[in-house]
Structure 1
């Protein structure tokens, strides 16, 4: 009889597991106590990969981009960091504590 492989050992499951990292995917600051998981390609657009981000960075992403825009950008974080409004946010948040949080204003649509 063939030996069954555990689901935990498959490469497919490794892609679906949240990947822990010591720094935020967007701003690259160290992560604090509060971590949120962001889908670079939104789940509604078929995204499965998640990345660790600060809550304030997660709010800034969704305040400035629609799910359709995030799906087009996909996982290219350089494009996100180069966006004019988001670049200003990243410069502002760079010196803040990892657990810093403030209200996030939505962009005018």
Structure 2
């Protein structure tokens, strides 16, 4: 589940003790391929975008990183340690 460099697929920071698998195409849409992400990055993805949105337009990391809500999160998380955790706010 981890890549050779041991980095999060979304934010690019080194992975910590806990690693989750994010389905590039949501499992509910038949996705099988996963990438390693921090728990906080994974929760932010799913709190920001629905599975339908992820399937339709956000299967690539560059597209996700360009989303305004994800881009703000990435700026905020960039200097945090690998095992950093904070509550994740759901979208409104």
Which gives a bigger RCO, structure 1 or 2 (Cα 8 Å, sep 6+)? 2
> CA deviation digits over 1:19-58, x for unaligned, max 9?
x211000001000000001101111101000000000000
Please point out which of 61, 64, 75 is paired with 2:45.
61
Structure 2, unpaired ranges of 5+: none
Larger radius of gyration: 1
Aligned length: 90
Is 1:43 aligned with 2:43?
no
CA RMSD of aligned residues (A): 0.9
Structure 1, unpaired ranges of 5+: 1-17
Q: Is the 8 A contact 2:58 2:64 kept in 1?
A: no
Runs of 4+ aligned structure 1 residues displaced above 3 Å come to: none
- What is the SS of the residue equivalent to 1:32? coil
